[in-house]
Amino acid sequence: MRLIFVGPQGSGKGTQADIISKKLKIAHISTGDLLRNISGGLKEEVDSYIDHGNLVPDDLILRILNERIIEKDCDEGFILDGFPRNLVQAKELDNIMDVDEVIEIDVSDKESVKRISGRRGCVSCGAIFNVETSPRPITPGVCDRCGGDLTQRKDDNETALKKRLETYHKETKKILSHYKSVKVNGEQDIEKVTEDILKILK
C-alpha cells in the first residue's frame, strides 16, 4: 500500500504516519527526516534551505526519494510524510508510481502555530513532546523515554514557520486537488485521528 499524508506543520502527520506504518507493516518515509540526516558535502546547503523555512530544490528531493523507495523495507509499501510538497513533485511521482490514498490532515494555522512553538524533540532518541499541548514531558527539558535533552528545531521559530505555512497554502495544498484526497480533522485526539484514517483505508 502506498499512501501520502498531507498536512500543515504540526498537523500530526508524522505522528500518524509513525502509528499507521507500524500497524500496516509498511515503511514511514519522512522527507524532512531524510534531509535532516544528510551528512557530508550537501549538509550545509540543505540545512540552509531548511533553517530558513524554504523547500529544497525538487531535483534534489526527488533523487533522495528515489534512492529511499528502493530499500527493502519499502517492498510492502510506504507512507510518504512530507512529499510531494508541490505540483512539480506530484507530477514527477505520477511518473514513478500509483498511489493508493492521499490523506489530508487538516488543522488551522492557529493550532499549527500553537503546536509548533511548543514542539520539542529528544536529541538522543528523536521522541517528540510538546510543552503547550501533549505529550508534555514530565520533567521540563528531559525526554520521558530515554532521559536525553529536549531541544527545539531550528526551523520551528516564528519567521521560518510563517514562511513554511505560506508555502503550504500556496504550493502544497495544490496537490490535494491533483489527487482525490480525503480529509480528516487533525484537531482531535491522536487516537481519534488514527481511527478516522484507518476507516478510510479499509
- Signed CA dihedral, 32, 34, 39, 43: sign only: negative
| Closest among 42, 182, 8 to 100, alpha carbons compared | 182
- Three-state SS for 99-115 is CCEEEEEECCHHHHHHH
**Known catalytic residue at 85:** yes
Cβ at position 25, least distance to ligand AMP in Å: 23
DSSP output for 7-59? --TTSSHHHHHHHHHHHHT-EEEEHHHHHHT--GGGHHHHHHHHHTTPPPPHH
Q: Residue 35 corresponds to which cell in the numbers above?
A: 534531509
Closest approach, Cβ 14 to ligand AMP, in A, equals 7
Q: Which of 2, 68, 120, 164 is catalytic?
A: 164
CB of 83 or CB of 179, closer to ligand AMP: 83
| Separation CA 190–CA 144 (nearest Å) | 18
When binding is defined by CB under 6 A, the residue of 38, 47, 49, 87 that contacts ligand AMP is 49
Q: Which stretch binds ligand AMP (CB under 6 A): 27-35, 66-74, 95-103, 181-189?
A: 27-35
N-terminal to C-terminal alpha carbon distance within the chain? 12
DSSP letters for 128-172 = EEESSSSSPPSSTTB-TTT-PBEE--GGGSHHHHHHHHHHIIIII
| Residue 31 in the binding site for ligand AMP (CB under 6 A) | yes
Residue 99 or residue 142: which is nearer to ligand AMP going by CB?
99
82 touching ligand AMP, by CB under 6 A: yes
We find the least distance from the C-beta atom of residue 202 to ligand AMP, in angstroms, to be 27
List 36, 114, 145, 153, catalytic entry: 153
What letter represents residue 94's amino acid? D
Q: Which of 19, 20, 50, 105 binds ligand AMP (CB under 6 A)?
A: 50
Shortest reach from residue 111's CB to ligand AMP, in Å = 16
Judged by CB under 6 A, the number of residues near ligand AMP is 17
Residues that bind ligand AMP (CB under 6 A): 9, 31-32, 35, 49-50, 53-56, 61, 82-83, 85, 89, 155, 164
Active-site annotation, residues: 13, 85, 119, 153, 164
